Amino acid sequence: DQQVKQNSPSLSVQEGRISILNCDYTNSMFDYFLWYKKYPAEGPTFLISISSIKDKNEDGRFTVFLNKSAKHLSLHIVPSQPGDSAVYFCAAKLPGFGNEKLTFGTGTRLTIIP
């Protein structure tokens, strides 16, 4: 039972264009969402997050949108740069203590084409 789904295993985008990575979830109890970025041979690093009380959060070129009614999360990267090529994981957290309450998606491999 995959509660957090990233249905696109891979995505290719031209440099300078917008990259949109999508994430769907099934549990309406999730109250906090995060995106992590992973380069080969490195661990994931935190990118951006959003609370369920918001619908948008921006940090430089990265914007996360949350549509609670659709149970949908998206990450927009604009403009896309070659260094953005990586695997992106979305994650959703239930309220309360413990990292077992954090569920990760399966990841989307983003390739930026120069």
Interface with another protein (CB under 8 A): 4, 6, 9, 32, 34, 36, 41-46, 49, 51, 89, 91, 93, 95-107
Q: Is the distance from CB of 50 to CB of 33 less than 8 angstroms?
A: yes
Which residue has 């995505």 as its token pair?
Answer: 11
- 45 exposed, middle or buried (CB, 10 Å; 0-12, 13-18, 19+)? exposed
Least separation in angstroms between CB 76 and another protein: 20
Closer residue to another protein, CB minimum distance, 57 or 79: 57
Q: How many CB atoms lie within 10 A of CB 78?
A: 15
Shortest reach from residue 17's CB to another protein, in Å: 26
Nearby residues of 67 by Cβ (< 8 Å), 6 or more positions away: 55, 73, 74
The residue (of 62 and 79) whose beta carbon lies closer to another protein is 62
Q: How far is the CB of 24 from another protein (least distance, A)?
A: 13
Instruction: Decide whether 79 or 106 has the Cβ nearer to another protein.
Output: 106
Least distance CB 16 / another protein (angstroms): 29
3-state SS assignment for residue 77? strand
Nearer Cβ to another protein (15/55): 55
